């Protein structure tokens, strides 16, 4: 079987257990984003991009009881050691980690990082934020909560902040960190939509959030 198709079949079994913010629809949107960006980056290896997109959340610590899902799936694919290393390098460069991200050094890593972050902002990003917050029992907003500027990876992942706080701690910061020209172009409109949403939310609630 084609490695990409085989990988897709295997990861679907994992993502079906995640909530709507990180399900297979998320993967499909990121894949589309990645291909749109890759169309402007002719040197990019699309197989590496697609495999990294498919695998990038299977071992997400927010969900994964078994931290080795990524390795378990990769071992079942007919890939060279070189290609496995390239895919893993891309995946490592994606995570925001509370601002403690590593540098995206390859064009494939830059494309997949941008593609994933595009799905974290704009209309879809807003929907995903509240889907995740609802699944985790988080408040919609908390006017008394101060967004953190400096935090460890552990603090970022473990503190149960309100969903709107997440906009200030992560989502509104993503556009300036886009790695590709196309990613930046696509992010600008989505960022503006989030700003408008937050402005309307403040008007409707009467809260300084």
pLDDT at 67: 62
d(CA 89, CA 74): 13
Q: Is residue 184 a contact partner of residue 36, using CB atoms and an 8 Å limit?
A: no
Burial 115-126 (b: 16+ CB within 10 A, else e): bbbbbbbbebbb
Structure tokens at 39: 């169309």
Q: pTM of the entire structure?
A: 0.94
Quote the DSSP letter at residue 93: T
Q: Is residue 73 a contact partner of residue 55, using CB atoms and an 8 Å limit?
A: yes
d(CA 39, CA 51): 17
d(CA 27, CA 13): 13
> Domains in the chain and their CATH numbers?
3-205 (1.10.3210.50)
d(CA 24, CA 76): 20
As a residue count, the chain comes to 209
pLDDT in tens, 38-60: 999 999 999 999 999 999 999 98
CA dihedral (195, 37, 2, 55) positive or negative: negative
H helix intervals, 142-180: 153-158, 163-169
pLDDT by residue, tens only, the chain of 209 residues: 799 999 999 999 999 999 999 999 999 999 999 999 999 999 999 999 999 999 999 998 888 655 689 999 999 999 999 999 999 999 999 988 766 778 999 999 999 999 999 999 999 999 999 999 999 999 999 999 999 988 887 877 778 899 999 999 999 999 999 999 999 999 999 999 999 999 999 999 999 99
208 to each of 44, 104, 143, 144, 171, how far by Cα in Å? 44, 35, 6, 9, 18
d(CA 209, CA 88): 38
Q: Residue 194: which of 176, 166, 171, 178 has the closest Cα?
A: 171
């Amino acid at each position: 079987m084609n490695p990409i198709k085989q990988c897709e079949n295997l990861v679907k079994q994992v993502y079906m257990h995640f909530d709507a913010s990180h399900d297979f629809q998320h993967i499909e949107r990121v894949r589309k984003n990645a291909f749109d960006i890759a169309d402007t980056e002719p040197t990019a290896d699309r197989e590496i991009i697609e495999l990294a997109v498919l695998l990038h959340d299977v071992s997400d610590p927010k969900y994964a009881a078994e931290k080795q899902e990524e390795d378990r799936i990769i071992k079942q694919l007919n890939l060279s050691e070189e290609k496995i290393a390239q895919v893993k390098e891309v995946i490592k460069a994606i995570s925001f980690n509370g601002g403690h991200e590593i540098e995206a050094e390859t064009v494939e890593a830059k494309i997949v990082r941008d593609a994933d972050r595009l799905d974290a902002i704009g209309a879809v990003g807003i929907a995903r934020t509240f889907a995740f917050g609802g699944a985790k029992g988080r408040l919609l907003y908390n006017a008394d909560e101060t967004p953190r500027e400096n935090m460890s990876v552990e603090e970022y992942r473990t503190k149960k902040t309100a969903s709107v706080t997440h906009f200030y701690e992560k989502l509104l910061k993503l556009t300036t960190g886009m790695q590709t020209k196309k990613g930046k172009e696509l992010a600008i409109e989505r960022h503006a939509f989030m700003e408008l949403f937050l402005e309307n939310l403040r008007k409707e609630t009467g809260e300084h959030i």
